[in-house]
Structure 1
Amino acid sequence: MAEKKDHGGQEKQKASPAERLARKLKKREKQRAANIVRASEMHAERIAFKTPDAQSHNKLETFNIGCSGWFYWHWRGGFYPAEMPTKSWFSHYSDNFPTVELNAPFYSWPTVKTVKEWLRQMEGKDFVYTVKVCELITHVKRMSRTRTLVEDFGLIADLLGEKMGCFLFQLPPSYHYSAARLKTLLGQLDPSRRNVVEFRHKSWWNERVYAAFRKTGTIFCSCSGPRLPDELVKTADDVYIRFHGLTKWYRHDYTDEELQLWVSRIRDSGCKRVWAYFNNDRDGHAIRNAKEFTRQLRAL
């Protein structure tokens, strides 16, 4: 096994794959324990929160196109100039895109202080956040008896105000369709929010689901991803698409023709607003693809 020097000059053995996995699992365990505490703290914040007398409503763009996340070390030297400090990365990103899909809240339930920092960093810009809902709700509790947690997480939208886009609820591949699950899932959502649900099992692509989503105004997330139905599903005035890659997750570089297919689907759907986020962050494909997709949409 290869060895390297640590800062003290001593030989330090490189971690094996098993050791790296063990560290990752330990970190995830700590995050999940912390999420329970943070959720409890946000519950108290929500109960004490006073809604402003005159709530502002955001005038959203027709096309809200961006990337799934913005802080990737492998974008340094490419999208982010090598000499640019990380504290300037978000400003650079928001100069190029009007929105971002925040993935970090999925792993770590954000604090009120964190949400206020999101507001501060976009001050003076026409920009909206879409927030991926914490896995405590979607993966740990699997949308069962989570209504209070969903309401607590919804405080994020109240804090962001006009800067709030969608809440993205992503369910795991093991979460297969059943009529009971569909009823339970929709019963947990707060209809006053802009809710998007992303499934990772193809059994959810069926007319019973679509009808229930239309009835509740829930947005069905269309996916471009391996082994998932390749189609645009419209269950509300807004459509929402996540681009993960065609044959490999997070690595595919979409051609102009592949993007044009989705543009045609959007045109034919008659939707009023588009949300699309590129999750193929490898080699900066998401950056190039999101810009090209925006160009094609605006050329309609």
Structure 2
Amino acid sequence: MPASHRPRVLIGISGWTYAPWRGDFYPAGLAHRKELGYASEQLTSIEVNGTFYAMQKPSSFTKWHDETPDDFVFAIKGGRYVTHIKRLVGVEGALANFFATGVLTLGDKLGPFLWQLPPNLEFDAQKMSDFFAVLPRTVSAAITLAELRDDKLAEDRVLLPASSDRPLRHCVEARHQSFACDEAVELLRKNDIAFVVADTAGKYPYVDTPTADFIYARFHGDEELYASGYTDAALDRWAGKIADWTATGRDVHVYFDNDIKGYAPFDAMKLIERIDR
């Protein structure tokens, strides 16, 4: 990375549409259509998880771009059709459709792509290498891939930006213990793919070895998966780790996914306060 690079720390939540948050994180009476705008004023980034469940309309990406501050960043969760149905095999066409639907038009607000693997997908070096080989690393490469989209994707669901050499980042969240090995770490490092630092109350592998020029962390719950909040002591520890990561010149993305009891946005704001001190 350039010597002049100043690391950014982007902290937010995974998704933003949660009914139980209304009247708690979101002010009572706030129109649902204004929730993204409100969340983006309190946080610095959001991980879009709707893209995991289904391809979004181009108009959605345009709307999200226009409703958020200029320096806001979206991380994009890759489609489960790629990771859970196709299981990373023969996915060129699926990726072409995914990148054709308007996600690239987020422009400077487009952050990393997250590829969350199913818990029963074991580490296979060849399978992972083949998958990494088809991931586009620039906007131009993604546009070229998008041109291979199939006719199942209607033309009114296609929106592509002007070609550019803007780099695209990717990260992998592995959920099978076999990924917690030196071979997997080295393979991700070789391909400049970030190994997601996943805090999962001990359920899934925890690897915090940097393997790319950025760090991507997901906080699913300190003691209970998706449910427990983070204590002040825990947030202090994570703030210290973030400081260590940025000291190496790496950008850091952190997303709280402990949403069941509504802790996520409040924990994110508390961590932002610690980073801003």
What TM-score, normalized to structure 1?
0.74
* Residue 84 of structure 2: aligned partner: 139
Q: Specify the SS of the correspondent of 1:223.
A: strand
Q: Give the whole-Å Cα distance in 2 for the aligned partners of 1:266 and 1:121.
A: 28
Q: 1:230 to 1:263 in 2, by over 3 A?
A: farther
1:235 aligns with 2:181: no
The residue type paired with residue 204 of structure 1 is F
Shift of 1:173: 0.1
Q: Give the whole-Å Cα distance in 2 for the aligned partners of 1:267 and 1:125.
A: 24
Q: Specify the SS of the correspondent of 1:125.
A: coil
Shift of 1:271: 4.5
Q: Specify the SS of the correspondent of 2:261.
A: helix
* Residue 214 of structure 1: aligned partner: 189
Q: Give the whole-Å Cα distance in 1 for the aligned partners of 2:39 and 2:132.
A: 34
**Contact (CA 8 Å) 1:151, 1:190: kept in 2 or not?**
no
Q: Give the whole-Å Cα distance in 1 for the aligned partners of 2:269 and 2:229.
A: 13
Q: Specify the SS of the correspondent of 1:292.
A: helix
Q: Specify the SS of the correspondent of 1:129.
A: strand
1:225 aligns with 2:170: no
The residue type paired with residue 175 of structure 2 is R
Query: Which shows bigger deviation, 262-271 or 108-117?
Result: 262-271
* Residue 28 of structure 1: aligned partner: none
**Contact (CA 8 Å) 1:223, 1:230: kept in 2 or not?**
yes
**Contact (CA 8 Å) 2:61, 2:103: kept in 1 or not?**
no
* Residue 152 of structure 1: aligned partner: 97
The residue type paired with residue 174 of structure 1 is N
Q: Give the whole-Å Cα distance in 2 for the aligned partners of 1:290 and 1:74.
A: 17
Say what the alpha-carbon RMSD is for the aligned residues: 2.0
The residue type paired with residue 232 of structure 1 is D
**Contact (CA 8 Å) 1:68, 1:102: kept in 2 or not?**
yes
1:67 aligns with 2:13: yes
Question: Which protein shows a greater Rg?
Answer: 1
Q: Give the whole-Å Cα distance in 2 for the aligned partners of 1:68 and 1:98.
A: 12
Q: Select the structure with the greater relative contact order (CA < 8 A; seq sep ≥ 6).
A: 2
Shift of 1:233: 2.5
- The sequence identity of aligned pairs, in percent, is 31
Alignment of 1:234-253 (within 5 A): 234-253=210-229
Q: Give the whole-Å Cα distance in 2 for the aligned partners of 1:65 and 1:282.
A: 19
1:259 aligns with 2:204: no
* Residue 116 of structure 1: aligned partner: 62
Shift of 1:90: 1.4
Flag structure 1 segments of 5+ consecutive residues without an equivalent.
1-58
Flag structure 2 segments of 5+ consecutive residues without an equivalent.
139-167
The residue type paired with residue 254 of structure 1 is Y
What TM-score, normalized to structure 2?
0.80
Give the number of the structure whose residues are more often helix, by fraction. Answer: 1
Query: Which shows bigger deviation, 200-209 or 59-68?
Result: 59-68
Residues matched between the structures, number: 240
The residue type paired with residue 222 of structure 1 is V
